[in-house]
Amino acid sequence: MAGGYFILLLVMMNVLSSFQTSNTVNPCCYFPCQHKGVCVRFDLDKYECDCTRTGYYGRNCTIPELWSRIHEFLRPSPSFYHYILTRFKWIWDIVNATFIRNTIVKLVLTVRSNLIPSPPTYNSAYGYISWEAYSNVSYYTRVLPPVPDDCPTPMGTKGKLHLPDAASLVETFLKREQFIPDPQGSNLMFSFFAQHFTHQFFKTYGRMGRGFVKGFGHGVDLSHVYGDSLERQHTLRLFEDGKLKYQIINGDMYPPTVVDAPVHMIYPNSVPKEKQFAMGQEVFGLLPGLMMYATIWLREHNRVCDVLKKEHPTWGDEQLFQTTRLILIGETIKIVIEDYVQHLSGYFLKLKFDPELLFGVQFQYRNRIAVEFNQLYHWHPLMPDNFNIMGKEYDYSNFLYNSSILTDYGVEALVESFTKQIAGKIGGGYNLHPRLLHIAVGVIEESRKLRLQSFNEYRKRFGLKAYKSFQDFTGEEDVASQLESLYGDIDALEFYPGLLLEKTHPNSIFGESMIEIGAPFSLKGLMGNPICSPEYWKPSTFGGETGFNIIKTASIKKLVCLNVKKCPFVAFHVPESGGENHISSETKISDEL
List residues with catalytic annotation. 199, 377
Alpha-carbon span 524 to 364, nearest angstrom: 9
**Which DSSP letter does residue 30 get?**
G
**Is there a contact between 195 and 287 (Cβ–Cβ < 8 Å)?**
yes
Task: Give the span between the Cα atoms of 245 and 301, in whole angstroms.
Answer: 11
Distance CA 319, CA 317 (A): 6
Coil, helix or strand at residue 148? coil
> How far apart, in Å, are the Cα atoms of 271 and each of 232, 260, 368, 387, 404?
21, 16, 36, 20, 11
Contact 63, 57 (CB under 8 A): yes
Amino acid at 590: S
DSSP tally for the chain: helices H, then strands E: 25, 8
Question: What is the DSSP secondary structure assignment for residue 190, as one 8-state letter?
Answer: H
Reported as half-sphere exposure (CB side, CA atoms, 13 A), residue 491 has a value of 15
Residues 6+ apart with CB under 8 A from 438: none
Q: Is 201 left (phi over 0), alpha (psi -120 to 50) or beta?
A: alpha
Write the DSSP string, 197-222: HHTTT--B-GGG-TTBBSSS--SS--
Query: 48 near 42, Cβ under 8 Å?
Result: yes
Instruction: For residue 253, give the H/E element and its range.
Output: strand 252-254
Burial label for 184, CB within 10 Å (0-12, 13-18, 19+), is buried
What's the rounded Cα separation, in Å, for the pair 209 and 197? Answer: 25
Instruction: Give the separation between CA 193 and CA 316, rounded to whole angstroms.
Output: 32
Q: Are 393 and 535 in contact (CB under 8 A)?
A: no
Please list the residues that pair with 187 across neighbouring strands: 422
Whether cis (ω within 30° of 0) applies to the bond prior to 119 is yes
CB 560 within 8 A of CB 570: yes
Distance CA 528, CA 524 (A): 5
Nearest to 564 by CA among 268, 300, 288, 218: 300
